[in-house]
Homo-oligomer: A and B are copies of this chain.
Amino acid sequence: MRIGIYGYGNLARGIESSITQNADLELAAVFTRRDPATVKIKTPNVPVYKNDEVISHKDEIDVLIICGGSATDLPVMTPELAKNFNVVDSFDTHANIREHFANVDAAAKDSDHIALISAGWDPGMFSLNRLYANCILPEGNDYTFWGRGVSQGHSDAIRRIEGVKNGKQYTVPVEAALQAVRAGENPELTTRQKHTRECYVVAEEGADLARIENEIKTMPNYFADYDTTVHFISEEEFARDHSGIAHGGFVFRTGVTGWERENKHVIEYSLKLDSNPEFTASVIVAYARAIDRLYKEGSRGCKTVFDIAPAYLSPLSGDELRAHLL
């Protein structure tokens, strides 16, 4: 199976290394909006092309993985590229998934291709766990916690404040809330009770720290509804302690069964990830395998993780899966 990578940032580098962990997959080409001569990839003997040449390489690629941002890149790129390729993306703006799905579905069906959107861990593995658990326990409550990990959006918001040189924001689940959910207490949790926000900020020389801290803590949508702590640190500390890309989180479903709904059950799924982009990439690569197989079986149009039978993700045969994993 020949994989193309469209865009070459953190996620794409994760895709590139994930391909080396899957013997049935190979990297065919990388497409970049930069000058290809300046882009050095790690895989030997694989060409790097300018992204606008992608269509001329369509016969060399079975699945094109699109590594772009959800805000402005993917809403345009994925429907456009689905006209000529089988594609997978990691579109993660929950509120716009239905619109994105409709656009990609139309493009893929018109051109006789298959596409999978929103692969990763949330949306992705967390969504799958929400779905399975909701089907098994129709009467119950859902809880999703994120972290401890970096939120890109919140870090960007900090960096836009005047006087801020650099900043990083960690989303942290509240331990007491986790414990209450895990104990089956079905708590009703406010935004503030679920997560705290920890900010590490490098200020410009002479900046008014009290003003910066206040601007962060009172920022609507991003911080005002949370217990937020702000730590001012040096550039050296920032570089030494806050270059990590770890993340993770928890999905719970608590529900009841029995004639009197007298029996409680707790389903918990959690991820602890050293590298958010590499784990996301690993999910995407498994789904790229599934998409290629489904295409060869005649399946067309846009899919999500909900539409893919799990066996398609594995290089093993059905018989091997039943023997070793069932």
User: How distant is the Cα of A125 from the Cα of B137 in the complex, in angstroms?
Assistant: 13
Within the complex, what minimum Cβ distance (angstroms) separates A246 from chain B? Answer: 9
Q: Is A18 an interface residue (CB 8 A)?
A: yes
Given A271-B267, A272-B265; A138-B22 close (CB under 8 Å): yes
Within the complex, what minimum Cβ distance (angstroms) separates A184 from chain B? Answer: 7
Q: Which residues of the other chain, B, contact A257 by a CB distance below 8 angstroms?
A: 14, 17-18, 21, 274-275, 278-279, 281-282
Tell me how many chains of this kind the complex includes: 2
- CB-based contact A263/B278 at 8 Å: yes
Chain A, range 3-18, C-beta contacts under 8 Å to B: 14, 17-18
- CB-based contact A286/B135 at 8 Å: yes
Within the complex, what minimum Cβ distance (angstroms) separates A308 from chain B? Answer: 6
Q: Is A318 an interface residue (CB 8 A)?
A: yes
- CB-based contact B269/A269 at 8 Å: yes
Q: Is A131 an interface residue (CB 8 A)?
A: yes
Given A265-B272, A325-B127; A308-B306 close (CB under 8 Å): no
Which of A94-102, A149-157, A159-167 is the interface stretch?
A: A94-102
One of B42, B258, B304, B326 near A275 (C-beta < 8 A): B258
Within the complex, what minimum Cβ distance (angstroms) separates A181 from chain B? Answer: 11
Q: Which residues of the other chain, B, contact A209 by a CB distance below 8 angstroms?
A: none
One of B17, B184, B258, B273 near A259 (C-beta < 8 A): B17
Chain A window 125-141, contacts with chain B (Cβ cutoff 8 Å), 1 for yes, 0 for no? 10111111011111100
- CB-based contact B310/A305 at 8 Å: yes
Chain A, range 235-282, C-beta contacts under 8 Å to B: 257-259, 262-275, 278-279, 281-282
One of B18, B264, B275, B311 near A307 (C-beta < 8 A): B311
Q: Which residues of the other chain, B, contact A176 by a CB distance below 8 angstroms?
A: none
Q: Is A322 an interface residue (CB 8 A)?
A: yes
User: How distant is the Cα of A313 from the Cα of B274 in the complex, in angstroms?
Assistant: 32
Q: Is A118 an interface residue (CB 8 A)?
A: yes
Q: Which residues of the other chain, B, contact A289 by a CB distance below 8 angstroms?
A: 135
Q: Which residue of B lies closest to A139 (CB)?
A: B21
User: How distant is the Cα of A118 from the Cα of B94 in the complex, in angstroms?
Assistant: 34
Residue among A130, A182, A184, A269 with most chain B CB within 10 A: A269
- CB-based contact B272/A266 at 8 Å: yes
Q: Is A210 an interface residue (CB 8 A)?
A: no
- CB-based contact A132/B313 at 8 Å: yes
Q: Which residues of the other chain, B, contact A42 by a CB distance below 8 angstroms?
A: 259
One of B21, B123, B281, B325 near A130 (C-beta < 8 A): B325
Within the complex, what minimum Cβ distance (angstroms) separates A300 from chain B? Answer: 15
Q: Which residues of the other chain, B, contact A101 by a CB distance below 8 angstroms?
A: 322
Q: Is A218 an interface residue (CB 8 A)?
A: no
Q: Which residues of the other chain, B, contact A132 by a CB distance below 8 angstroms?
A: 125, 128, 310, 313
- CB-based contact B118/A326 at 8 Å: yes
Sample of 13 A–B contacts (CB below 8 Å): A21-B138, A21-B139, A22-B138, A125-B132, A125-B267, A131-B321, A263-B275, A263-B278, A265-B273, A266-B273, A267-B270, A305-B326, A306-B326
3 closest cross-chain pairs (CB), A and B:
A263-B274, A135-B313, A257-B278
